[in-house]
Chains A and B, each alone.
Chain A
């Protein structure tokens, strides 16, 4: 497949691995921010072909994992008590709320539908004028343009029955939170390629400058990841701290201005609670005040009491790269994908699920 098979070429992979072995002189700890990258590292068996000195730790970039418990409870309330048609991305529906997951609510008769695109949800709102349709709009900067566009479309179509339950999170503030965490000892970052496709690279310059930390915007295929890691290790070995772009076939320095515009038209920046991590200042987007009719949070009276997280779950430490999933006492025992205690065990991008599903990688990394 054009632009795909080239980035899975075993010979090129081999070259990068051998180059990494050549230049690596001491241990380095690198965080890949995005859950998609975590998944690709584990799925392709990259963790067990990297030089031992390179310790990849997995970042908070799993949208499902960081969506607050309370918001899932709100979605459940809307679907079960308010009788809305709740539309959601697929991997959100298995995440446990405080009582049950959306999947269980669906089995109990709530009208919950899996979507690939929020525009499908707008279509459903058009087709069901007597029903309220709510799209569960979670995700990083990557999904924000499509979610925002759905509001623009609904407004244009004068729909009164469409709204979004938004909980968007932003990568740069999360990176700073990880850097500032005393327990996390991250020496460099692979920045998330798809987030930068939308937002561009400029917002990372101040972080690189302030913390003197190398950062390489990286893609998701094996060759991308290894090239990104190689560029990062080169900087580390040379004592440099620069912002570089490995994923230049997709990421432009200024990102996608049209997508940024639609985001700014619909969302405003606010403090945001991250599941397992806590509140990070100015780290999320919510619907702007002038579009309140499309904000499910305001449209419906949803005041759901906050419930504490499961005490045994160390998701927060896993999300900040302080602990690896197998360092959790519950991993693979009380906590499995069938009976998850925390969100990282559910989402296909969650580090715990990635380690659980590809358990040989887990054992080799442990050893």
Chain B
């Protein structure tokens, strides 16, 4: 279900204010109005309904816990907004631990002047993302900062999940010969965001691929268990950064093959024009897996049966040569080292 369909069934509540003011963060009447009038209803579940200072629940077994803050600019971008990003991001971080996400906390830092209409739109997309991922928002917080001290809205989410009984995700499990897989086309999210940044406007139909990956990851764990050595989501810094972290932490080498790396042609073209390397561009709806060579082909086949895995590909191997280094074989057969990104990727002059 997309946000616009959801908004038909959850119309914005009638309120006597149109914009967020400092009072909405005071903890007083306005804060209550804001929460009671819509937020609690929208995100309704038995744990949240307690309206307690924190969430009380039972979870057994090995747990995974993660937190992330979302400060994306612009808040609304082609293919989504900060709300679903904040849910999907933390859901995916927990999934990358080999766990099944269960509960999320949700904290807002709102900038004075944010319109209620925008806030509602973000809330709806939070609800949609939570539904899709099958998780509950169980506790939260709202603060308001003066105009100019935020960028419309910042969101922090923390999440907790139960580790899959068959999962054994650890960087120490990697061994020479393991295959490196990406679950879909890379660099799409980063380019979608860049296309709407001030000063860089360019016309494109590229949309962010933000989505929850937890159901796909669970199905893969059900079938392949501890033959999956590592999951990572290549968000900031992109695929190149994750590969470098793996090479650094395992002291092993990594070979990747440019011709196998899936990039949508439009994204590739935008990267060429802007002077960016897709390997360093941020992703949202994509994960990387390092798996035993024996299961790699079956793993890929299974992954490709999911909507968010259709374009998955094996892009490289863990090797004994050039320890701690990631080496890319270019399309034309030349080789180069892929390093950590220094600072931000900046557009070139010409």
Q: Is B56 an interface residue (CB 8 A)?
A: no
B191-208 contacts to A (CB < 8 Å): 198-202
Q: How many residues of B contact A (CB 8 A)?
A: 31
Complex formed: what's the CA distance from A43 to B334 in Å? 9
Residues of A within 8 A of B275 (CB): 90, 348
Q: For residue B99, give the distance in angstroms from its CB to the closest CB of chain A.
A: 35
Q: Does A194 contact B (CB under 8 A)?
A: yes
Q: Are A13 and B333 in contact (CB under 8 A)?
A: yes
Cβ of A138 within 8 Å of any chain B Cβ, yes or no, is: yes
Interface of B is mostly: loop
The A54-110 residues at the B interface (CB cut-off 8 A) are 63-64, 87, 89-94, 103
Of residues 1 through 53 on chain A, the ones whose CB sits less than 8 Å from some CB of chain B are 1, 4, 8-10, 13-14, 36, 42-46, 48-49
Query: Is A211 among interface residues, defined by CB-CB distance under 8 A?
Result: no
Contacts of B249 in A (CB 8 A): none
Q: Let me know if B337 and A91 touch, CB within 8 A.
A: no
Bound state CA distance, A283 and B91, in angstroms?
57
A337 engages B342 (CB within 8 Å): yes
Q: Is the CB of A359 within 8 A of B339?
A: yes
Q: Is B347 engaged at the interface, CB distance under 8 Å to the other chain?
A: yes
Contacts of A194 in B (CB 8 A): 350
Interface residues of chain B, those whose CB is within 8 Å of chain A, are: 198-202, 265, 268-269, 272, 274-275, 322, 325, 327, 329-337, 339, 342-343, 346-350
Q: A337-B342, A348-B275 are in contact. Are A45 and B333 (CB under 8 A)?
A: yes
Contacts of A114 in B (CB 8 A): 199-200, 346-347
**By the criterion CB–CB under 8 Å, are B199 and A120 in contact?**
yes
Size of the chain A interface, CB-CB below 8 angstroms: 49
Residue numbers in B under 8 Å from A42 (CB-CB): 336
Which single member of A44, A92, A120, A337 contacts B349 (CB below 8 Å)? A92
Instruction: Give B273's nearest chain A residue, CB to CB.
Output: A116
User: Smallest CB–CB gap between B343 and chain A, Å?
Assistant: 7
14 intermolecular pairs with C-beta atoms under 8 Å apart: A42-B336, A45-B330, A48-B335, A49-B334, A93-B346, A113-B199, A114-B347, A115-B199, A337-B342, A349-B349, A356-B339, A358-B337, A358-B339, A360-B322
A sample of 15 more A-B contacts (CB under 8 A), given A45-B330, A114-B199, is A9-B332, A14-B333, A44-B330, A44-B336, A45-B334, A48-B334, A116-B199, A120-B201, A142-B350, A222-B331, A337-B343, A357-B339, A358-B339, A360-B322, A360-B335
The verdict on A143 contacting chain B, using a C-beta distance below 8 Å, is yes
Flag if B347 contacts A10 (CB, 8 Å).
Answer: no
Tell me, in angstroms, the Cα distance from A120 to B347 when the chains sit together: 15
CB contacts (< 8 Å) of A125 on chain B: these are none
| Nearest CB in chain B to that of A364: its residue | B335
Q: Please measure, in the bound complex, the distance between the C-alpha atom of A10 and the C-alpha atom of B272, giving whole angstroms.
A: 19
Residues of chain B with a CB closer than 8 A to A336's CB? 342
The answer to whether A325 has its CB under 8 Å from any CB of chain B is: no
Instruction: Indicate the member of A45, A140, A337 with the most B CB atoms within 10 Å.
Output: A45
- In the complex, the chain B residue whose C-beta lies closest to that of A359 is B337
Question: Which chain B positions have C-beta within 8 A of A14?
Answer: 333
Chain B nearest CB from A39 CB (Å) reads 9
A64 vs B347: C-alpha distance when bound (angstroms): 12
Interface string of A137-161 (1 = CB under 8 A from B): 0111011000000000000000000
Q: Report B276 CB to chain A, min CB distance, Å.
A: 10
